[in-house]
Amino acid sequence: MIYARHFAALAAGLLLLGAAGCQKEPESTAAQTAGPCKPDAAEALAGKDRISDEDAKQMTGATIVRQLKPGDPATMDFRQERVTIETDPATGKIVRAICG
């Protein structure tokens, strides 16, 4: 009799665990509102003076801005809503700007 109760409790627990695994995890708010970066607009930033994150977002349509110096380490994951801007610290000029 005791085994039957333990078995029933175990079975119920496994069913609940299995059902919880089927739930879709909600996307983050940033991912829900993210717009794709415009590659032509990003490339047009090269050679210009360093710009703020807000200006970069407005000019490229990106919702995430990553500012780097040439040679800085960066992840290689592609994010369509991100613009990566490399700025030369000596001149303050944008060396490269790419989407992703």
For 83-89, the CB contacts below 8 A with 24+ separation are 83/37, 83/42, 83/56, 83/57, 85/42, 85/45, 85/50, 85/51, 85/56, 87/50
What does the pLDDT read at residue 35?
A: 77
- Give the mean pLDDT of 77-81: 95
- Give the mean pLDDT of 35-59: 96
The more confident residue out of 33 and 61 is 61
* Average pLDDT, rounded, for the chain: 81
What does the pLDDT read at residue 59?
A: 96
Q: Would you list the domain boundaries of the chain?
A: 27-99
- Give the mean pLDDT of 3-30: 54
Chain centroid to Cα 77, Å, comes to: 9
**pLDDT confidence bin for 65, thresholds 50/70/90:** very high
Pick the CATH number of 27-99 from 3.30.10.10, 3.30.450.80, 3.30.1490.20, 3.20.20.220: 3.30.10.10
Helix (H, G, I), strand (E, B) or coil at 57: helix
